[in-house]
Structure 1
Amino acid sequence: MPFFQKSVVAALLFISALFALAAAVPVEGARFEARTNTGQATYYIPGLGACGKTSQSTDYVVGVSKLLYDTYPGHTANPNNNPICGHKIQANYAGKSVTAIVVDRCEGCARNDLDFSPSAFQALAPLSAGRLNGVTWSWA
């Protein structure tokens, strides 16, 4: 095979490999939405959150780990524009469940931990529990 034909074949193989890699990359958000996560849950008194919205203790809202917040597909340097904002999370603990809206970023949380408003936390356990281990959650 002449050199020119070998170069064309090599280029086509390279382009095919790039398309195969692109097809293997998940759709935006899919890597977070397709699985059940397990972590700890705590509560905080909400106010102005990282998403730029002000929430009350009676709102069913949640902050997610900075590790998740800062790597969510499409995030930018402006945390108010993070596409994770407004997504709903359904959390389960001891046979109870709650759905809360992401409005904040939790600085001290491990990757799969959640930080709820008091009312959302109380849907799972009394505030006196303080910290819940083994909370499962997924995107609602």
Structure 2
Amino acid sequence: MVRYKVVINTDSYKKRRCSKKNWEPGTMNDYMEAINGWHTTEHSIREVIWRLQMFQGQGFPISEYDEEKGGLSERYKRWEAKKCNQVKYFDKLCGFERTQPVKGYGFTQGYFSIGSVIEKLKNEGSVKIPFSYLYDIRQYYKNMDGCYMEITKI
């Protein structure tokens, strides 16, 4: 049975300046710190696709919506409910704990071809998705250069 190890690396993230008045960069700093080293194992290409869609900020996959039953497939709901799909972290400036899905921070309006990523994974056994793929040029912060998600066939 083929499985896939998924890891997020934000070692190269450079913290943004923040203050009590300008708290959002601090929230981003705390989130990027919290997801560094995050990892999970996916058990099929279908789950890898779901992982990439979540990372991209797409919400639920249309392919998993069953109109006849009026909702998402049971398989996807079980996968989505896994504890590893949420990251909890303490927002130091705001003073409370936050919980968010494991995805790029904020508005991820960029685009990358999931099909191309899957093809590369199948052919090469490993693929890195830079955070820059997640954002439109207007929403991307250069302090994320070098941050990525890596998927490796195991």
**TM-score of Structure 1 vs Structure 2, range by shorter chain:** under 0.3
TM-score, normalised with respect to structure 2: 0.26
TM-score, normalised with respect to structure 1: 0.28
Greater fraction strand: 1
Greater fraction helix: 2
